[in-house]
Chain A
Amino acid sequence: EVQLLESGGNLVQPGGSLRVSCAASGFTFSNYAMSWVRQAPGKGLECVSGITSDGRAFYADSVKGRFTISRDNSKNTLYLQMNSLRVEDTALYYCASPQGGGYYFDYWGQGTLVTVSS
């Protein structure tokens, strides 16, 4: 059974940094692309970053230059390093995995909450 378990969400001040993680199990992690999708309170979904199985990274303009996605295939873990955080980055951050051959998301974690506030 595919499982994605996010962790690391917290309250952080504007301008601060935070790293969130996603532990994957139930599939061959190294074979698949992974993504981070966020959802601000009461709002819709936004894909902020993705990384291919061979390590190529992609970012939405809203986070480019501030966020860094990475993966550790030996630990079956996905990361999102978030720097220069803004109030508008406050959201539930989901780890999501496209495994069906296209970049649609078959599997989702339950999310980790990042709150940016002074």
Chain B
Amino acid sequence: EIVMTQSPVTLSVSPGERATLSCRASQSVSNNLAWYQQKPGQAPRLLIYGASTRATGIPARFSGSGSGTEFTLTISSLQSEDFAVYYCQQYNKWPPWTFGQGTKVEIK
């Protein structure tokens, strides 16, 4: 099983600042990496797929990069609605498609 490790567990950021979230895979997943945002009481929402392609309707302040085992999600200028938990997911190899444990972005 491919293990996905996200860091940090919690990120405290002020509105308007930049946030950088990391995701590491225990083996190469090529660019088969997605990012999701989840707010309390809601289902996850797809942000990024293919490591760097924004999903439909996702603002340009969200960007993804990386390949192989190291990936980054950057939120260029945090808005109030961006405070949430973010998950990465590899879909390169089943079983199973695995998620990271999540990074909570909270207001500083």
In the complex, besides A60-B96, A103-B32, 15 extra interface pairs with C-beta distance below 8 angstroms are A44-B87, A47-B89, A47-B96, A47-B97, A47-B98, A47-B99, A48-B96, A50-B94, A58-B94, A94-B44, A103-B91, A103-B97, A105-B34, A105-B46, A105-B89
Decide if B59 is an interface residue (CB 8 Å cutoff). no
Q: How many residues of B contact A (CB 8 A)?
A: 23
Q: 4 closest pairs, A vs B, by CB? A: A104-B34, A108-B43, A103-B91, A60-B96
Decide if B1 is an interface residue (CB 8 Å cutoff). yes
Interchain residue pairs with CB less than 8 A apart (14): A44-B99, A45-B44, A45-B87, A46-B99, A47-B96, A59-B96, A60-B95, A61-B95, A100-B55, A103-B32, A103-B91, A103-B94, A103-B97, A105-B89
On chain B, the residues within 8 Å of A111 by CB distance are: 43
On chain A, the residues within 8 Å of B87 by CB distance are: 44-45
Question: Which residues in B have some Cβ–Cβ distance to A below 8 Å?
Answer: 1, 32, 34, 36, 43-46, 49-50, 55, 87, 89, 91, 94-102
Which has the most chain B C-beta neighbours within 10 Å: A45, A48, A59?
A: A45
